[in-house]
């Protein structure tokens, strides 16, 4: 890819991210983005079909970055429980806060977190399989996966809205406290 293209793309992403920190997605215009990024109108539309497309690509890039890093970290997991992954995700979210502050502010966070949850489903599934958890007798596996990634995302939303007062480690321990009791209530056939 051409240097100019990379520069333009980065400038647009950066401008967009800054704008998202100020106002909600729906109130941002393409004009504001290109003014802030210092690129021409034609240039913007050469890179992105629409504003929606820009948002989608930004979300995908960020989520891929965060989740893939968490995926890697599960490789090291020495038979340990999944808390490491969740803590890892939280730390990553906080570290990248400055980059993604916009997406994590007000209304717009919903959009990002929806992408995030979709990626999380895969991560949670692999965690469950990795740990060889017997699936709960009464609860369908897809319900369980949705419950775990769904409540993780809701926790992140709550965390952000509360201005991230808790540390990732605190949150991780709370989260484990509400999730592990369900996982340990497994089929009694092998624990008796």
Residues at the site binding its own copies, with contacts judged by CB under 8 A: 26, 110, 114, 117, 136, 138-140, 142-144, 146-147, 150-151, 153-155, 157-158, 173-174, 177-178, 181-182, 185
Does 73 engage in binding with DNA (CB under 7 A)? no
Contacting DNA within 123-152 (CB under 7 A): none
Q: Is 42 in the site for DNA (CB under 7 A)?
A: yes
For tokens 């995926």, the residue is 71
* 10 binding DNA? (CB under 7 A): no
**Sequence-distant contacts of 144-150: CB under 8 A, at least 24 apart:** 144/182, 145/121, 146/121, 147/182, 148/124, 148/179, 149/117, 149/120, 149/121, 149/123, 149/124, 150/117
Q: Does residue 108 belong to the site contacting DNA (CB under 7 A)?
A: no
How far apart are the C-alpha atoms of 71 and 64, rounded to whole Å?
A: 10
Among 14, 41, 142, 185, binds DNA (CB under 7 A): 41
Find, among 105, 90, 96, the residue nearest to 153 by Cα: 90
Query: Which parts of this chain interact with DNA (CB under 7 A)?
Result: 2-5, 7-8, 29-31, 38-43, 45-47, 49-51
């Amino acid at each position: 890819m051409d240097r100019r293209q990379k520069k333009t793309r980065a400038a647009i992403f950066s401008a967009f991210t800054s704008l998202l920190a100020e106002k909600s997605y729906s109130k941002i215009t393409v004009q504001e983005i290109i003014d802030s990024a210092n690129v021409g109108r034609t240039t913007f539309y050469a890179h992105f079909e629409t504003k929606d497309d820009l948002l989608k690509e930004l979300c995908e890039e960020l989520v891929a970055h965060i989740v893939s890093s968490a995926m890697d970290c599960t490789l090291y997991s020495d038979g340990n429980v999944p808390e490491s992954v969740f803590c890892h995700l939280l730390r990553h979210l906080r570290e990248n806060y400055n980059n993604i502050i916009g997406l994590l502010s007000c209304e717009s966070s919903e959009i990002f977190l929806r992408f995030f949850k979709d990626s999380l489903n895969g991560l949670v599934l692999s965690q469950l399989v990795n740990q060889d958890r017997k699936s709960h007798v009464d609860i369908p596996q897809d319900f369980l996966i949705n419950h775990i990634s769904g409540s993780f995302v809701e926790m992140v939303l709550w965390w952000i809205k509360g201005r991230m007062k808790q540390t990732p480690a605190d949150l991780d321990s709370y989260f484990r406290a509400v999730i592990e009791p369900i996982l340990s209530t497994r089929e009694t056939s092998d624990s008796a």
